[in-house]
């Protein structure tokens, strides 16, 4: 707001007052004089026939002080004199002039993480490469399997990466690498509602080789290579959709597993046991219940539900792993070791990897738990087992790292190698799809939900 | 989004600054896709939604770690369907929830499976997939809008302004709608009640990664019809790509904008509205 304009508005107010008083004298004449005299006498003053100081009263503060610029178009050239000449200020008050002001102003601060944050992980054992889903900067980074970031290094550079608008990668959480072709299947969890597929050596800002329109809120991916079928979990629908592996465009799913009887509740990770024809799903426990008066919500414990692989429709689980002994706490990705009958769980909010027997049911304790400060596991959401090299891989949302262990690691195990994409002391902010922001005026804090 | 959480940052935090607090874990009952958060300074509490479990959760203002909410509104009596956003009126002690074709109003301290105090619903309301809302206890209105519009749709969202106590099949007092408004769809809303300014995030078409027509718009709650916003924050200097969240900090005259395309919160000094 310029001082000049503010002065102009206030001056015009004063002049309006004077004009009004003069007009009043002319119009109302004696009656007004009588009233003034009476008022003066009441105040123990005598009429002097000329102006005298009656009282001093500052102009009232403008109702919207400091905000009046927007009422006057920036292009306005009319000054007070011109306004008075045109009589506009002597007309009855109307709604103030209204204008829109475009403001291209730089932010004074930004809260964001400038480093990669890894949601999912997969390996191509033909090329000895590890693929990491970067959900913060929306890309896929590819490292040599043996990459190991020295403790003093800032970070490791990837061999190549996919990133940019053309890739259509956004909130990419699930990842599958075709064991023969090396094609990358990337699940976009939110906003774009599509699966994007790239060839093995894709790099830079390139469009996907093909895309598949998927339901909103897809998360996990698993593929039955024998049947060439692709399974996706859908958070928003509490469902699994099964497509042809090579489906693209608007192709519809071959079948859907869905309904209250399935006990799927905010499904995340998915794993297949082809040998036993089982399907495993990790659930956060956000349930929807069909009642007599409609559908409502309910909080249930986290669980792993197991179904026959060829299920369709509203199928009850064969068994459910659930209860305090399981240590499940926001279970994310799953990985199946068919050979040994072991199910790996990236246990996000417990900073752990849990290993269950494939046949476990109910309130079962895990066979092994990888957890503790030496592990460097922090908010793990991706897990992969490399049977060729007997290694367990973990992608950690909480600390910009992928960590590698012996396949049989248990307890507070040291990683064999660490791929780190930020300085060691940087905690990942893990801001993801911030749809809202709040301000805590008591603590002077900014609240950011994912 | 792979990991749900609420992060609390110092107001002066910048790039890569650690949060002061992180609220996450099974006991918190949080889910991903939280599209609103409201801090109640009078009672030192904050409110969020869990759309998957159709619940409203209330936390201690200083909640930290894997801390459970102090109250939860959830169940068949609540009528909650797509509980995505909300606002809290700390003067009249009420919670407002846009609920697709209705607006539900609960007591601020409601807990459990409770019926709403009031329901606004019916053909005269003009409610169309109501997905966002802000309440103004001084000017006695609330504003609501549709939050999702796809690029292939001909329809556009509009700002419906109702009497604060409206219920039943009541018409809006005013409607801000039309080409001059620039509105495609509306995400989080805030009202600076002392001045009656409505601050609205406009993230453009839902299904486009970096759509055109994005901005943060500021109208008066007294505006009506096809009117442009009083201020429109956008442009290359603003760094805004897809604004979804907005909060205001009157003490420091700041507007905070959550940008989903950048996974970032941008803070603007904006004394004009305070």
Domain segments of chain A as ranges: 3-90, 118-440
CA distance B121 to chain A (A): 17
Distance CA A249, CA A168 (A): 14
CATH 2.130.10.10 domain residues, chain B: 122-274
Q: What is A118-440's CATH topology?
A: Methylamine Dehydrogenase; Chain H (2.130.10)
CA closest to B219 among chain A residues: A100
Listed by number, the residues of chain A in 118-137 with a beta carbon closer than 8 Å to a beta carbon of chain B are 119-120, 135-136
CA distance A43 to chain B (A): 38
Q: Pull the structure tokens for residue A241.
A: 């959709």
3-state secondary structure A203-214: CECCCCCEEEEC
What local confidence, expressed as pLDDT, does residue B152 receive?
87
Per residue in B105-135, pLDDT tens? 999 999 999 999 999 999 999 999 999 999 9
What local confidence, expressed as pLDDT, does residue A235 receive?
96
Distance CA A132, CA A116 (A): 9
Please indicate whether, in this complex, the C-beta atoms of B244 and A434 are within 8 angstroms of each other: yes
Please indicate whether, in this complex, the C-beta atoms of B232 and A440 are within 8 angstroms of each other: no
Which of A46, A66, A62 is CA-nearest to residue A54?
A: A46
What are the φ and ψ backbone dihedral angles of A242, each rounded to 5 degrees? -115, 120
Largest CA distance in chain A: 112
3-state secondary structure chain A: CCHHHHHHHHHHHHHHHHHHHHHHHHHHHHHHHHHHHHHHHHCCCCCCCCCCCCCCCCCCCCCCCCCHHHHCCCCCCCCHHHHHHHCHHHCCCCCCCCCCEEECCCCCEEECCCCCCEEEEEEECCCCEEEEEECCCCEEEEEECCCCCCCCCCCCCCCEEEECHHHCCCCEEEEEECCCCCCEEEEECCCCCEEEEECCCCCECCCCCEEEECCCCEEEEEEECCCCEEEEEECCCCEEEEEECCCCECCCCCEEEECHHHCCCCEEEEEEECCCCEEEEEECCEEEEEECCEEEEEECCCEEEEEECCCCECCCCCEEEECHHHCCCCEEEEEEECCCCEEEEEEHHHCEEEEEECCCCECCCCCEEEECHHHCCCCEEEEEEECCCCEEEEEECCCCEEEEEECCCCECCCCCEEEECCCCCCCCCCCCCCCCCEEECCCCEEEEEC
pLDDT exceeds 50 at position A197: yes
The structure tokens 């829109």 sit at A100
pLDDT exceeds 50 at position A20: no
What local confidence, expressed as pLDDT, does residue A162 receive?
98
Neighbours of A258 (CB within 10 A): 18
B/e letters for A41-67, b = 16+ CB within 10 Å, e = fewer, are eeeeeeeeeeeeeeeeeeeeeeeeeeb
Listed by number, the residues of chain B in 99-128 with a beta carbon closer than 8 Å to a beta carbon of chain A are none
Distance CA A199, CA A184 (A): 6
B/e letters for B250-271, b = 16+ CB within 10 Å, e = fewer, are eebebbbbbbbbbbbbbbbebe
Query: What average pLDDT does chain B have?
Result: 97
What local confidence, expressed as pLDDT, does residue A292 receive?
84
Residue from the list A297, A398, A427 with its beta carbon closest to the beta carbon of B55: A297
What local confidence, expressed as pLDDT, does residue A71 receive?
36
pLDDT exceeds 50 at position A40: no
CA closest to A190 among chain B residues: B1
What local confidence, expressed as pLDDT, does residue B79 receive?
96
Residue from the list A101, A110, A120 with its beta carbon closest to the beta carbon of B231: A101
Lowest mean pLDDT among A50-59, A78-87, A213-222, A232-241: A78-87
Residue A88 pLDDT grade (very low, low, confident, very high; cuts 50, 70, 90): very low
Higher pLDDT, A107 or A71: A107
B173 exposure class (CB count in 10 Å sphere: 0-12, 13-18, 19+) = middle
Residue from the list B39, B261, B271 with its beta carbon closest to the beta carbon of A447: B39
The mean per-residue pLDDT over the stretch B264-270 comes to 98
What local confidence, expressed as pLDDT, does residue A50 receive?
52
* A450 chain-B contacts, CB cut-off 8 A: 1, 3-6, 32-34
The mean per-residue pLDDT over the stretch B168-172 comes to 98
Please indicate whether, in this complex, the C-beta atoms of A298 and B74 are within 8 angstroms of each other: yes
What local confidence, expressed as pLDDT, does residue A376 receive?
98
The mean per-residue pLDDT over the stretch A110-127 comes to 97
What local confidence, expressed as pLDDT, does residue A216 receive?
94
The mean per-residue pLDDT over the stretch A2-13 comes to 38
Is the CB of residue A281 less than 8 Å from the CB of residue A269?
yes
What local confidence, expressed as pLDDT, does residue B2 receive?
84
Q: Looking at the complex, does the CB of residue B260 fall below 8 Å from at least one CB of chain A? A: yes
The structure tokens 């206890």 sit at B137
Residue from the list A109, A349, A445 with its beta carbon closest to the beta carbon of B26: A349
The mean per-residue pLDDT over the stretch A20-33 comes to 42
Looking at chain A, the whole-number percentage of residues with pLDDT higher than 70 is 78
Distance CA A228, CA B85 (A): 41
Looking at chain A, the whole-number percentage of residues with pLDDT higher than 90 is 76
Tell me the CATH number of domain B122-274, given options 3.90.480.20, 3.30.530.20, 2.130.10.10, 2.40.50.100: 2.130.10.10
Residue B257 pLDDT grade (very low, low, confident, very high; cuts 50, 70, 90): very high
Distance CA B131, CA B187 (A): 8
Residue A76 pLDDT grade (very low, low, confident, very high; cuts 50, 70, 90): very low
Residue A51 pLDDT grade (very low, low, confident, very high; cuts 50, 70, 90): low
Higher pLDDT, A58 or A243: A243
* A425 chain-B contacts, CB cut-off 8 A: none
Higher pLDDT, B82 or B103: B103
Q: Looking at the complex, does the CB of residue A100 fall below 8 Å from at least one CB of chain B? A: yes
* B44 chain-A contacts, CB cut-off 8 A: 442
pLDDT exceeds 90 at position A70: no
Per residue in B16-56, pLDDT tens? 999 999 999 999 999 999 999 999 999 999 999 999 999 99
Higher pLDDT, A20 or A394: A394
CATH 2.40.10.500 domain residues, chain B: 20-110
CA closest to B79 among chain A residues: A296
Lowest mean pLDDT among A208-212, B150-154, B164-168: B150-154
CA closest to A284 among chain B residues: B26
* Best to test chain B binding among A295, A330, A345 (most B CBs inside 10 Å): A330
CA distance A360 to chain B (A): 21
Q: What is B20-110's CATH topology?
A: Thrombin, subunit H (2.40.10)
Query: What average pLDDT does chain A have?
Result: 85
Is the CB of residue A416 less than 8 Å from the CB of residue A404?
yes
What local confidence, expressed as pLDDT, does residue A87 receive?
33
Per residue in B59-94, pLDDT tens? 999 999 999 999 999 999 999 997 999 999 999 999
Residue A35 pLDDT grade (very low, low, confident, very high; cuts 50, 70, 90): very low
* B46 chain-A contacts, CB cut-off 8 A: 438, 440, 447
Listed by number, the residues of chain A in 238-267 with a beta carbon closer than 8 Å to a beta carbon of chain B are 266
């Amino acid at each position: 707001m310029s001082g000049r304009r503010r002065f102009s508005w206030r001056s015009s107010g004063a002049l309006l007052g004077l004009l009004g008083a003069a007009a009043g004298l002319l119009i109302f004449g004696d009656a007004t004089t009588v009233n003034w005299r009476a008022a003066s006498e009441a105040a123990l003053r005598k009429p002097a026939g000329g102006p005298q100081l009656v009282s001093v009263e500052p102009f009232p503060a403008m109702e919207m002080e400091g905000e009046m610029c927007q009422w006057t178009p920036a292009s306005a050239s009319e000054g007070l004199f011109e306004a008075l000449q045109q009589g506009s200020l002597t007309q009855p008050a109307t709604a103030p002039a209204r204008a829109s002001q475009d403001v291209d102003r730089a932010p004074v601060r930004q809260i964001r993480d400038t480093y990669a944050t890894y949601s999912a992980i997969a390996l191509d054992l033909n090329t000895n490469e590890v693929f990491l889903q970067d959900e913060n900067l929306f890309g896929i980074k590819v490292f040599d399997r043996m990459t190991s970031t020295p403790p003093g290094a800032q970070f490791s550079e990837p061999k190549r990466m996919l990133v940019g608008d053309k890739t259509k990668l956004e909130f990419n959480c699930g990842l599958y690498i075709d064991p023969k072709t090396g094609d990358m299947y990337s699940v976009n969890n939110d906003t774009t509602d599509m699966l994007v597929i790239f060839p093995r050596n894709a790099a830079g800002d390139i469009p996907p080789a093909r895309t598949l329109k998927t339901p909103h809120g897809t998360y996990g991916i698993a593929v039955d290579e024998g049947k060439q079928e692709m399974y996706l979990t859908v958070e928003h629908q509490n469902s699994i959709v099964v497509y042809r592996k090579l489906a693209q465009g608007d192709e519809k799913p071959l079948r859907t597993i869905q309904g209250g009887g399935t006990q799927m509740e905010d499904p995340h990770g998915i794993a297949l046991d082809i040998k036993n024809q089982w399907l495993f799903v990790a659930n956060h426990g956000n349930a929807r219940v069909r009642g007599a008066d409609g559908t409502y919500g309910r909080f249930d414990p986290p669980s792993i539900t197991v179904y026959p692989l060829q299920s369709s429709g509203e199928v009850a689980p064969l068994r459910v792993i659930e209860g305090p002994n399981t240590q499940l706490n926001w279970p994310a990705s799953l990985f199946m070791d068919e050979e040994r009958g072991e199910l790996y769980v990236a246990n996000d909010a417990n900073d752990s990897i849990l290993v269950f027997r494939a046949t476990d049911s109910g309130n079962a304790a895990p066979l092994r738990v990888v957890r503790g400060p030496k592990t460097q596991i922090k908010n793990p959401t991706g897990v992969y087992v490399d049977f060729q090299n007997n290694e367990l891989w973990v992608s950690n949302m909480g600390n910009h790292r992928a960590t590698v262990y012996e396949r049989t690691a248990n307890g507070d195990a040291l990683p064999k190698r660490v791929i780190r994409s930020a300085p060691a002391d940087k905690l990942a902010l893990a801001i993801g799809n911030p749809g809202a922001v709040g301000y805590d005026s008591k603590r002077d804090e900014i609240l950011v939900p994912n | 989004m792979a990991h749900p959480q609420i992060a609390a940052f110092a107001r002066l935090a910048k790039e890569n600054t650690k949060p002061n607090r992180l609220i996450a874990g099974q006991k918190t009952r949080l889910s991903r896709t939280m599209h609103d958060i409201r801090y109640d300074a009078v009672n030192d509490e904050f409110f969020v939604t869990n759309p998957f479990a159709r619940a409203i959760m209330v936390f201690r203002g200083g909640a930290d770690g894997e801390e459970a909410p102090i109250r939860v509104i959830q169940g068949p009596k609540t009528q909650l369907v797509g509980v995505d956003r909300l606002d809290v009126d700390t003067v009249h002690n009420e919670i407002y929830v846009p609920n697709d074709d209705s607006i539900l109003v609960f007591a601020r301290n409601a807990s459990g499976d409770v019926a709403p105090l009031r329901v606004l619903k019916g053909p005269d309301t003009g409610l169309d997939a109501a997905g966002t809302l802000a309440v103004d206890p001084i000017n006695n209105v609330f504003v609501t809008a549709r939050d999702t519009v796809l690029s292939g749709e001909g329809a556009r969202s509009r700002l419906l302004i109702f009497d604060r106590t409206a219920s039943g099949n009541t018409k809006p007092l005013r409607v801000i709608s039309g080409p001059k408004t620039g509105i495609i769809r509306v995400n989080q809303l805030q009202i600076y009640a002392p001045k009656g300014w409505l601050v609205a995030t406009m993230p453009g078409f839902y299904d486009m990664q970096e759509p055109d027509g994005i901005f943060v718009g500021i109208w008066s709650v007294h505006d009506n019809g096809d009117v442009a916003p009083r201020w429109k924050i956008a442009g290359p200097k603003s760094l805004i790509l897809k604004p979804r969240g907005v909060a205001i900090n009157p003490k420091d005259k700041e507007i905070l904008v959550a940008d989903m395309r950048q996974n970032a919160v941008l803070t603007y000094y904006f004394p004009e509205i305070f």
